[in-house]
Amino acid sequence: MAPTTKKRKSEADVSARPAKQPRRTLDSFFAPQVLAPASSVNDDDRRIVSLNFEQAAILKQVVSEGKNVFFTGSAGTGKSLLLRAIITALKKKHGKLNNAVSVTASTGMAASNIGGMTLHAWGAIAPTPTEINHQVSCIKKCRPALQRWQKTKVLVIDEVSMVDGPLFSRICKLAQMIRKNDRPFGGIQLVVTGDFFQLPPVSKDGSAVFAFESEEWKSCIDHTLTLSQVFRQKDDHFANMLNQLRLGAITPEAVNTFKSLSRPLPPDPAGILPTELFPLRNEVDRANSTRLASLTTSPNVFNSRDSGSAPEDKRKKLLESMMAPQELVLKAGAQVMLIKNIDEQLVNGSVGKILGFYRIADVCGGPGNGVGAKNGTAPVRNVVMGTDGRPVLKEAEGKSGKENVPQAGSSNAVKPKPENGKGKGKEKENQPDVKPKVTKDQGLYPLVEFPALDGSQTEVVLLVRDEFRIEDAQGAVLARRMQVPLILAWAISIHKSQGQTIHRVKVDLGKVFEKGQSYVALSRAASMSGLQVLRFDANKVKAHPKVIEWSKTLETHAPVEKAEPSTSGAGI
């Protein structure tokens, strides 16, 4: 079967307003079916996904009951999905109130992934501790931050494991003083998530003080909840081994199994090598540079287009925290990783190989045949690789035009104009409710082949520049980067791999230096068949004793009744 091809088109009019959504009742927030987050910050095409009982129960506690909640879970339990569903529900609940829902994270990369800003930037919090009254005085001089402190009703904090106890206490006291409210966290509702078994707070002497150790944590957090159902690993035995690793209670049987995974992985039919995970960035850069230099094809350099409203020095730091690099050097034959979701099959973490570089006109049949999309992104499957090895537009099959209709579940897919001019009469049926925009960029872009996990067929995608941005609580864009959503993927850092699922991965544990690194690295794998482990040492996979003891106090599920399915089918 010929490989299908999608084109990623993102440089459309980002100012186009999404279609107005029907008003939802509060009850519908807690149905097991909810809207998944958009694939891109520009994308209004959203899928309906199901939350399990644990996730739906936590969602209800946060949105309906207004509880201060911390939820956690091992890798692959759906923490990110639940957090995005909670953010969506909270924003609908609070409507048009500016700054009502503030979305933050401990690191710039994590903030970028959820469309928020760093906790320090949100609150204009000094990076080093200073006298509390002096900090309050400084914040009051920063009007945007002061307004966020005063108007925020719900504060979301992701990757809280990297927020230390003194910082959490300081932020709580700042909230009380600025808001002149002695209630916990100044009366702001808290939604906190992360996994303390993963990377800990940075400390100079190695003696990490976790956020949960602070007295303010105990007074602020009403419920600490654990998600238990693992979605990433389908093999219960492997998931159990990883959980042993996470808890620092690994059995001799599990140790022997991990050691047996030192064997090389079998060759991949598509020629994709296992992605190597390293603890240090310079090791990653060296491995990728060596592989790239070995390719005899010509390099193509993609420089990002950066902008944003933040002051230059602050914007620079925000841009540096993004997954997308400022300069991206690619070659035909390079192994790359997708760093944005396109659809259910092609997601953040998908690994493929560059076939070559083409103009958008090469794929769409010329400037007049460009494919437009409402609000920015539209995967299109109407292109195949021709017999000459170049991408060509696929014509409709039969009278029904079956091959040219938008894909199910993709409301932004748009029918391109057939090269022979046929089908003009039916073209309007599939147009979005805004005028399609044809990109003016005639530059070359990478055409990437991603192997299907089930082996049925490959996906070939033309990837153009996409938008990565960090916003403040009012939606103002502090930093924006337009860049091709790829990174080299012969190797990536353990830190950058957090939150990703990698189906063929190689991990050398001989160089890990931090508690939690081994667990983060090994839990990226979807299965044992796709995992190679070198120099496994049970002594290097110890969990932090403070976290082990504290985890025994967590609730395993939210104590509420199971939500009834939504009758509307629209989610939230």
Are 11 and 464 a contacting pair, CB within 8 Å?
A: yes
Helix, strand, coil percentages (3-state) for the chain, rounded to 5, are: 30, 20, 45
- Torsion, CA 308, CA 313, CA 319, CA 320, rounded to 10: 180
Last residue of a domain, one of 227, 247, 280: 227
**Total residue count of the chain as it appears in this document:** 572
Better pLDDT: 36 or 30: 36
Q: What is the pLDDT of residue 556?
A: 58
Q: Are residue 156 and residue 242 in the same domain, yes or no?
A: no
137 falls within a domain: yes
Which tokens go with 314?
A: 């602050």
Q: What is the pLDDT of residue 557?
A: 52
Instruction: Give whichever of 13-27, 29-43, 525-539 has the largest mean pLDDT.
Output: 525-539
Beta bridge partners of 462: 7, 447
Q: Are residue 216 and residue 305 in the same domain, yes or no?
A: no
Helices and strands per DSSP (H, E), number in the chain: 16, 25
Number of domains in the chain: 3
- Determine the Cα angle at 85 with ends 144 and 374, to 5°: 80
CA-to-CA distance for 109 and 197, rounded, in angstroms? 19
6 falls within a domain: no
Better pLDDT: 330 or 572: 330
Q: How far is the CA of 504 from the CAs of 268, 350, 489, in angstroms? A: 9, 10, 11
Q: What is the pLDDT of residue 32?
A: 36
Q: How far is the CA of 176 from the CAs of 66, 186, 540, in angstroms? A: 19, 4, 41
CA-to-CA distance for 204 and 314, rounded, in angstroms? 24
Which tokens go with 462?
A: 């033309």
CA-to-CA distance for 377 and 18, rounded, in angstroms? 12
Reported as a pLDDT band with limits 50, 70 and 90, residue 152 is very high
Q: What is the pLDDT of residue 455?
A: 56
Q: Are residue 215 and residue 351 in the same domain, yes or no?
A: no
Return the closest-CA partner of residue 153 out of 91, 106, 211, 64: 91
Q: What is the pLDDT of residue 257?
A: 94
Residue whose pair of structure tokens reads 């002096």 in the numeric block = 134
Last residue of a domain, one of 492, 514, 542: 492
Which tokens go with 503?
A: 């189906």
Q: Are residue 188 and residue 64 in the same domain, yes or no?
A: yes
Q: Are residue 452 and residue 305 in the same domain, yes or no?
A: yes
Reported as a pLDDT band with limits 50, 70 and 90, residue 79 is confident
CB burial of residue 446 (10 Å; 0-12, 13-18, 19+): buried
Q: What is the pLDDT of residue 436?
A: 30
Q: What confidence tens digit (pLDDT) does each residue in 429-481 have?
A: 333 333 333 334 448 999 999 887 655 567 888 899 998 888 765 667 888 99
Q: What is the pLDDT of residue 365?
A: 56
CA-to-CA distance for 346 and 335, rounded, in angstroms? 15
Q: Is the pLDDT of residue 559 over 60?
A: no
Q: Is the pLDDT of residue 322 over 60?
A: yes
Q: What is the pLDDT of residue 14?
A: 38
Return the closest-CA partner of residue 176 out of 120, 215, 132, 143: 132
25 falls within a domain: no
Q: What is the pLDDT of residue 392?
A: 52
Q: What confidence tens digit (pLDDT) does each residue in 339-361 have?
A: 887 776 777 778 899 999 998 87
5 falls within a domain: no
Q: Are residue 336 and residue 395 in the same domain, yes or no?
A: yes
Q: Are residue 364 and residue 385 in the same domain, yes or no?
A: yes
Q: What is the pLDDT of residue 388?
A: 57
Q: What confidence tens digit (pLDDT) does each residue in 154-163 have?
A: 999 998 988 8
Which tokens go with 233?
A: 């690993």
Q: What is the pLDDT of residue 36?
A: 43
Q: What is the pLDDT of residue 385?
A: 52
559 falls within a domain: no
Q: What is the pLDDT of residue 318?
A: 85
Q: What number of CA atoms fall less than 13 Å from residue 51's CA on the CB side?
A: 33
Q: What is the percent of the chain with per-residue pLDDT over 70, rounded to a whole number?
A: 72
Beta bridge partners of 466: 483
CA-to-CA distance for 41 and 38, rounded, in angstroms? 7
Q: Are residue 393 and residue 421 in the same domain, yes or no?
A: yes
Beta bridge partners of 480: 307, 469
272 falls within a domain: no
Better pLDDT: 372 or 262: 262
Reported as a pLDDT band with limits 50, 70 and 90, residue 381 is very low
- Mean pLDDT over residues 125-144, rounded? 84
Q: Is 297 helix (H, G, I), strand (E, B) or coil?
A: coil
282 falls within a domain: no
Instruction: Give whichever of 19-23, 25-29, 227-231, 374-378 has the largest mean pLDDT.
Output: 227-231
CA-to-CA distance for 201 and 416, rounded, in angstroms? 50
Q: Are residue 222 and residue 240 in the same domain, yes or no?
A: no
The one-letter amino acid at 7: K
285 falls within a domain: no
Return the closest-CA partner of residue 149 out of 121, 119, 179, 111: 179
Residue 95: CATH number of its domain = 3.40.50.300
CB burial of residue 137 (10 Å; 0-12, 13-18, 19+): exposed
Beta bridge partners of 73: 227
Last residue of a domain, one of 227, 246, 277: 227
Residue whose pair of structure tokens reads 């609580």 in the numeric block = 473
Better pLDDT: 562 or 521: 521
DSSP H or E run through 246: helix 236-247
Are 330 and 354 a contacting pair, CB within 8 Å?
A: yes
Q: Is the pLDDT of residue 423 over 50?
A: no
Q: Are residue 333 and residue 469 in the same domain, yes or no?
A: yes
Question: Mean pLDDT of all residues in the chain?
Answer: 75
Strands, DSSP E only, in 394-497?
445-451, 458-463, 466-471, 477-483, 486-488, 491-493
Q: What is the pLDDT of residue 394?
A: 47
- Mean pLDDT over residues 31-48, rounded? 41
- Mean pLDDT over residues 28-33, rounded? 34
Q: Please state the pTM of the whole predicted model.
A: 0.65
Note down the domain range covering 242: 236-265+504-551
Which tokens go with 548?
A: 């082990």
Q: What is the pLDDT of residue 512?
A: 78
Residue 347: other Cβ atoms inside 10 A: 14
Q: Are residue 66 and residue 204 in the same domain, yes or no?
A: yes
Are 462 and 360 a contacting pair, CB within 8 Å?
A: yes
Instruction: Give whichever of 75-89, 123-137, 166-180, 329-343 has the largest mean pLDDT.
Output: 166-180
Q: Are residue 349 and residue 216 in the same domain, yes or no?
A: no
Reported as a pLDDT band with limits 50, 70 and 90, residue 111 is confident
Residue whose pair of structure tokens reads 């190689």 in the numeric block = 506
Q: What is the Cα gyration radius of the chain?
A: 24
